[in-house]
Amino acid sequence: MSEALIAASLWVLAATMVAFLPMRQQYRPGLVLLIAAPGVIAWIGVAHGAVMAVLGAAAFVSMFRNPLRYLWRRARGAAPELPSEPNREGPR
């Protein structure tokens, strides 16, 4: 296995460990992972070609879809959506 794929595997393991943290403790390590991801994806693209880089980008977007959606809305100037209140009435 190449160094790029080993780095990507370690990135995925780190992202999984961060997901287990309480929400308040996820921000800093999650931001580091968010910033590091394009470099790892580019490294995969250089080592294995564009198809593998696109697959890596799809996996990245799948894992970070909510933070990316929030950043996209902020960049466009739209107010980000707040999480909705859970239904406390129970099933009907």
Could you tell me the pTM of the whole model?
0.72
Question: Residue ranges per domain, the chain?
Answer: 3-76
Q: Which residue has the tokens 């999984």?
A: 16
pLDDT digits (tens, 9 = 90+) for 34-67: 899 999 999 999 999 999 999 999 988 888 888 7
Q: What is the pLDDT of residue 27?
A: 86
pLDDT digits (tens, 9 = 90+) for 71-88: 888 888 877 666 655 555
Cβ contact 13:46 at 8 Å: no
Helix ranges, the chain (H): 3-19, 23-48, 50-63, 65-76
Cα–Cα nearest to 33, from 1, 58, 67 = 67
CA distance 9 to 3: 10
